[in-house]
Amino acid sequence: MSAHTHDHIDWADRLTQLRTADTLDTDALSAIARRLVAALPPAPTIVDLGCGAGGMSTHFARALATRGGGTLALVDATPELLAEAEKSVRAAADTASNAPGAADAQAKLGDLADTGSAGSRPASGGRADGGSTNATSGAVEVRAVRGDLADSALPGALPAADLVWASRVVHHLPDQQAAVGTVAAVAKAGGLVALAEGGLDFRCLPWDLGVGRPGLEDRLLAAQAEWFVGMREGIEGAVAMPYGWSVALERAGLTEVDSFGALVHHPAPGPAVLADYVVHRVARILEFGGEYLTPDDRETLASLLDPHGPHYLAARRDLHLTGAKTVHYGRRP
């Protein structure tokens, strides 16, 4: 394992799957990024806590470039993921900042600033790699910071943010409410805090697979839920949070708390990466939650995951992906 994790999961080993998930989530993540960035002031600072492979921040970078630029701080405790995120987000930021649409959008913002009908022109900034950037050309500054969200001192190492984003990371930490408080502390006064947690479980299998008992996916999701309970119980110093994410945001002192959803939908047969994603997803549930399945279901899964067998999942044309992400957000007073 490359780095200590509270949940005892080797996240560096999941890099390929994280990249694939980011690809499949592109439409949903892009819509979320545009919605959140549209609510920010000119040249904002965004902090992505638990950035993983950087999928969400590539969309933040593109959204910022169309609005005149800004700063993106990527934070993760796993060095391999942080390095991948920095590479991917820098590439997306450079491409988006140099696109003709970014310059056109910034010119419009500049015209408004010159007439006094909008805020002051965005200030220029520096790049973490030592090169210079100019926010007036739609440039996006990218910084990478290795940090653990369970560390209450983390906000002191980060820039005060207009938007703090944390996607599916808080539930892996010992004290979720304390972690929400740390996330909120990174935001500046008036800044937004957004957590992507919960949502609707992804579904990808037909009800009757032609092998084993129908309804396998329902039982897989139930096994995954049992594994999750055990994962939480196995975290050293785990603290229960017997209420929802909106209440957690309110207890962290945030106001204007609300939520919205974004659909992830790939009808069969789906994009080329879908089959491999489904195979890895099912194999992972079997690996971590197999003890909660019946012997018959485990035998069925062995057949479905056998690349040389007649029931191999990746050979099917009726795999799909349907689910929803939920974003809970609030504003720091």
Domain presence at residue 184: yes
Domain presence at residue 144: yes
| Whole-number pLDDT of residue 18 | 83
| Whole-number pLDDT of residue 104 | 53
Domain presence at residue 55: yes
| Whole-number pLDDT of residue 15 | 72
Number of domains within the chain: 1
Mean pLDDT of all residues in 165-178? 95
Domain presence at residue 6: no
Calpha distance 57→300 (Å, rounded)? 38
| Whole-number pLDDT of residue 98 | 80
| Whole-number pLDDT of residue 19 | 86
Mean pLDDT of all residues in 213-228? 97
**Is residue 127 over pLDDT 70?**
no
Calpha distance 86→90 (Å, rounded)? 6
| Whole-number pLDDT of residue 112 | 31
| Whole-number pLDDT of residue 101 | 59
**Is residue 2 over pLDDT 60?**
no
Task: Report pLDDT digits (tens) over 308-328.
Answer: 999 999 999 999 999 999 999
Parent domain of 193: 11-205+239-264+324-331
- With cut-offs at 50, 70 and 90, classify the pLDDT of residue 97: confident
Mean pLDDT of all residues in 273-298? 96
Average model confidence (pLDDT) across the chain: 87
Domain presence at residue 212: no
Mean pLDDT of all residues in 189-209? 97
Helix (H, G, I), strand (E, B) or coil at 67: coil
Q: Which of 255, 108, 81 is nearest to 169 (CA)?
A: 81
| Domain containing residue 188: CATH number | 3.40.50.150
- With cut-offs at 50, 70 and 90, classify the pLDDT of residue 121: very low
- With cut-offs at 50, 70 and 90, classify the pLDDT of residue 99: confident
Domain presence at residue 292: no
| Whole-number pLDDT of residue 253 | 98
**Is residue 126 over pLDDT 60?**
no
Helix, strand, coil shares of the chain, percent, nearest 5, are 45, 20, 35
Tell me, yes or no, if the pTM score tops 0.75: yes
Provide the percentage of residues in the chain whose pLDDT is more than 90. 79
Domain presence at residue 143: yes
- With cut-offs at 50, 70 and 90, classify the pLDDT of residue 14: low
Task: Report pLDDT digits (tens) over 49-86.
Answer: 999 999 999 999 999 999 999 999 999 999 999 999 99
DSSP 128: T
| Whole-number pLDDT of residue 6 | 53
Calpha distance 131→159 (Å, rounded)? 19
On whether the CB atoms of residues 68 and 122 are closer than 8 A, the answer is: yes
On whether the CB atoms of residues 174 and 309 are closer than 8 A, the answer is: no
Tally of CA atoms within 13 A in the half-sphere of 13 that contains its CB: 9
Mean pLDDT of all residues in 276-289? 95
Domain presence at residue 228: no
* 245 alpha-carbon distance from chain centroid: 16
**Distance linking the first and last C-alpha atoms of the chain:** 40
